[in-house]
Amino acid sequence: MEIVAVVDEGLGNSSYVVGLGDGGAMVVDPFRDPSPYLRIAEERGWRIRFAAETHLHADFVSGSGELAAGGAVVLASGGAPVDFDARLLDDGDEVDVGGLTLRALATPGHTPEHLAYLIEEDGRSLAVFTGGTLIVGGVARPDLLGAAHTDRLARAAYRSVRDRLLSLPDALTVYPTHGAGSFCSTGAGDDRVTTIGAERAANPLLQAADEDDFVARLLGGLGSYPPYFLELRNVNRAGPRLYGPKPPALEPRSVEDLDRLVGAGAEVVDVRGVAAFAAGHIPGSLSIPLRPQFAPWLGWLVDRGRPLVFVADADTDRRQLVRAALSIGFERLAGELAGGVDAWAAAGRNLARIPLVDAAHAEQHRRVVDVRQHGEWAAGHLPGARHVELGALTAAGDDLGGGPLLTHCAHGERAMTAASLLARAGHRDVAALAGGPEELAAARGTQLRTAP
């Protein structure tokens, strides 16, 4: 049995192609774009026969439907029936997958319907795919169904790990779906796979004295998450629209088209690098540079129902851009501005600018706004900086007051996104830092502070 991981670094998740030994393959928790799985299967002479879902995903659109269109059987939890053809499994159900046995283990916690999949051969455990119930250094968050369910699911996670997963052999390799960088995760380590024994020995949550201690540790480690997480479970339950391995092309739009689209409610998203955006951009456009983390920040800051018009440049990978948007269920892709900002300027339109400064040239009179996540801020921040997570910046609104502002994150991308949000909200003197708090503290001769 060969297992090939397909990792989405931006979403912080892994899916797996499992070669079953008989020429068939199974994909566990596939992402929406089927092309990586089809390529892996073609390279090895495999035929994808199964697509197994550990749970209804909130952070990405499932690709099981795409694989089913090519002949794969979808395996899913009977605890949350889907609205498309699938073989529904309950606790203890077994499926013959190419001479190996797939055993479904009910492991609620991250979600109520969650299954883990144990692969066995002649009664010997070969691998376990744990989705979000057990991940490297933690478990996935139990609060995505709302506060009324959080405590119950956290306690279910404790029992799922203690009674179902820790009863497996210590040497057994664990293949989680959620991992480092996923907003579904809590306490995830940098590794993508682990073993039962390694988690038993080193997972901080598994060192809890009892169930109450486990729940307190788990809930105490939860951060914020993007609002689209509240929508994708239903998208995945219904079965998303199918596009195949080639994403649709972006339609070129004129300046006049852009005016019309914006008038009808479209969002203009500039995906160029921060330096290019700083030098000149369409007034009111939102800076989200195309990088691995593009999708979650798009989903955090833009309503999924709004049409999107992109501003790009010659270096932009349009296929990557479309795939990223579709991966989190953004379907209303209205196109891109043909000719980019050069076409805008050639049409006699004004370009806006936002200063991008390094720490040595950051003016002392600017109030510093740290837009990193709470955990980053707590680990070390500039004394006197105002902390507002990027996802909460729009809601903060006038609380920031007037006067010159300097936004910063760790490198500059989120800082420029924040600056673009503030500029279009009416802040007339805002700059973004090209760097992080360490550089700013060093330039100002001070030390970073930590917080609980």
One-letter amino acid at 274 equals: V
Distance CA(448)–CA(333), nearest Å, equals 42
Pair 81, 128 in one domain? yes
Pair 138, 225 in one domain? yes
| Assigned domain for 308 exists | yes
One-letter amino acid at 216 equals: A
Distance CA(147)–CA(157), nearest Å, equals 16
Residue 400 per-residue DSSP state: G
Give the CATH number for residue 91.
Answer: 3.60.15.10
One-letter amino acid at 341 equals: V
Query: What are the structure tokens assigned to 39, written together?
Result: 């390529």
Looking at the structure of the chain, the number of domains it has is: 3
Q: CA angle, corner 110, sides to 298 and 191, nearest 5?
A: 70
pLDDT at position 188 is 63
- Kindly report the average pLDDT of the chain as a whole number: 95
Pair 308, 327 in one domain? yes
Distance CA(378)–CA(393), nearest Å, equals 18
| Assigned domain for 166 exists | yes
Percent of the chain with pLDDT over 70: 99
pLDDT band, very low/low/confident/very high, at 402 (cuts 50, 70, 90): confident
pLDDT at position 451 is 86
Pair 36, 79 in one domain? yes
Q: Is the pLDDT of residue 439 over 80?
A: yes
Give the CATH number for residue 295.
Answer: 3.40.250.10
Pair 264, 322 in one domain? yes
| Assigned domain for 9 exists | yes
Q: Is the pLDDT of residue 114 over 70?
A: yes
Structural domain boundaries, residue 341: 252-346
Pair 368, 425 in one domain? yes
| Assigned domain for 452 exists | no
Pair 67, 195 in one domain? yes
| Assigned domain for 448 exists | no
Looking at 170, 204, 238, which one is the last position of a domain? 238
Looking at 316, 346, 376, which one is the last position of a domain? 346
Q: Is the pLDDT of residue 187 over 70?
A: no
pLDDT band, very low/low/confident/very high, at 398 (cuts 50, 70, 90): low
Distance CA(245)–CA(19), nearest Å, equals 20
Looking at 313, 346, 379, which one is the last position of a domain? 346
Q: Which residues contact 80 (CB under 8 A, 6 or more apart)?
A: 55, 56, 111, 112, 113, 237
Pair 276, 227 in one domain? no
Q: How many CB atoms lie within 10 A of CB 383?
A: 11
Among 32, 49, 37, smallest CA distance to 241 is for 32
Percent of the chain with pLDDT over 90: 92
Q: Is the pLDDT of residue 127 over 90?
A: yes
Asked whether 141 and 193 are in contact (CB, 8 A), the reply is no
How long, in residues, is the chain?
Answer: 452
- For 399, phi then psi, to 5°, come to -60, -20
| Assigned domain for 450 exists | no
pLDDT at position 180 is 82
Pair 341, 375 in one domain? no
Cα Rg of the chain, angstroms: 23
Q: Which residue has the tokens 């797939």?
A: 102
Q: CA angle, corner 191, sides to 236 and 125, nearest 5?
A: 75
| Assigned domain for 187 exists | yes
Pair 23, 162 in one domain? yes
What tens digit of pLDDT does each residue of 279-296 get?
999 999 999 999 999 999
CA distances from 416 to 199, 289, 339, 353, 438 (A): 38, 9, 22, 11, 18
What tens digit of pLDDT does each residue of 318-327 get?
999 999 999 9
Pair 305, 338 in one domain? yes
Pair 147, 191 in one domain? yes
Query: What are the structure tokens assigned to 182, written together?
Result: 């996923």
Q: Is the pLDDT of residue 186 over 90?
A: no
| Assigned domain for 244 exists | no
pLDDT at position 159 is 98
Distance CA(432)–CA(413), nearest Å, equals 9
What tens digit of pLDDT does each residue of 50-68 get?
999 999 999 999 999 999 9
Element (H, E) at 130: strand 124-131
What tens digit of pLDDT does each residue of 209-267 get?
999 999 999 999 899 999 999 999 999 999 999 999 998 999 999 999 999 999 999 99
